[in-house]
Amino acid sequence: MPSTTTPTSTSTGPATTTTTDTDTTTTTDTDTDTDTDTDTDTDTDTDTDTDTDTDTDTVKAQPRNKVIAVTGASSGIGRATALALAQHGATVVLGARRGDRIEQLAAEIRENGGRAVGVPTDVRRRTDLVRLVDTAVARFGRLDVLVNNAGIGPISPLEDLRVDDWDDMIDVNLRGVLHGIAAALPVFRRQEAGHFVTVASTAAYRTVPGQAVYAATKTAVRTVCEGLRQEVGDLRVTIVSPGFVHTDFADAVADPDARAALLARRDAMALDPTSIADAITYAVAQPDQVDVNEIVVRPTAQR
């Protein structure tokens, strides 16, 4: 409610300046000149940019208005992200190799009043990503966001020469992201709107012994996404780089010593996957003119 300050300066002379300073600035300046300066700048400022913000940008900014595909949705960060987005009212299209798990997750989301569909997806196969994107468009009319989350990390020292593991990391972590871009970019171009969210890693900023190939794939992912952002200026591109997160990442590590060390560090400091899901939800929820380019989320104890 605007404050009404009424200083009534009554001088014996004819000038009675009654400045009724409500937001409707009615300066009735009774100077003999009968200057009824009812300054029709009547500041009744119906600037709807007030705190009632029924601003269209705010409406657009809600995840509930979006159709979002998530790869690697069967566990860890992908599962937590799908649940968080569905709780905010987004329609989620779930992709993962473990079809039984994504069907269970989709059923759980639907039972709680959300909209979800599962599509068995191996990101190493480009056709699977095309099917994931096509399913979103066929079922729900569009795709607003692709969350490229699928990733693996069978880390080991280079001297172990686990070449098959190197190939798998390159295929899933890097080629999988490229397949997602190739599938969604034509759709986003047709819609003249779209958002790529890609999960990288703090390993892209700092590598340690045993993680050379894994870190190389995540560094490459950051480079690809930054190049994509520069090339497709009217689309949005976000990189989310988690630190230690409590997932089944360590399960793929064959070397017993490396695995034990990783599990010990994970149990000592790892974040819950919901922390990363919250960061992704934040980026997705921004209005169209806001592009959150990069978010790094690590445990406070992680150096």
Contacts of residue 285, defined as CB under 8 A and 6 or more positions apart, other chains included, come to 61, 62, 63, 88
For the chain, report the end-to-end CA distance as a whole number of angstroms: 50
The C-alpha atoms of residue 229 and residue 195 are separated, in whole angstroms, by 10
Q: To 10 degrees, the CA torsion angle through 9, 15, 21, 26?
A: 160
Distance CA 64, CA 88 (A): 6
Kindly give, in sequence order, each residue whose CB lies less than 8 Å from that of residue 99, ignoring residues fewer than 6 positions away.
118, 120
Q: Which residues contact 114 (CB under 8 A, 6 or more apart)?
A: 86, 87, 89, 91, 92
The reply to whether 205 belongs to the active site is no
* Run of H or E including 296: strand 294-297
Element (H, E) at 257: helix 256-269
The conformation of residue 174, written as its DSSP 8-state character, comes to: I
The torsion angle over the Cα atoms of residues 69, 74, 75 and 78, rounded to 10 degrees, is 0
Annotated catalytic residue within 166, 188, 196, 214: 214
Measure the CA–CA gap between 25 and 41, rounded to whole angstroms.
8
Strand ranges of the sheet holding 67-71, from the earlier edge strand across to the other edge: 115-120, 91-96, 67-71, 145-148, 195-199, 236-242, 294-297
Q: Do strands 26-30 and 67-71 pair parallel, antiparallel, or not at all (unpaired)?
A: unpaired
Please identify every residue annotated as catalytic: 214
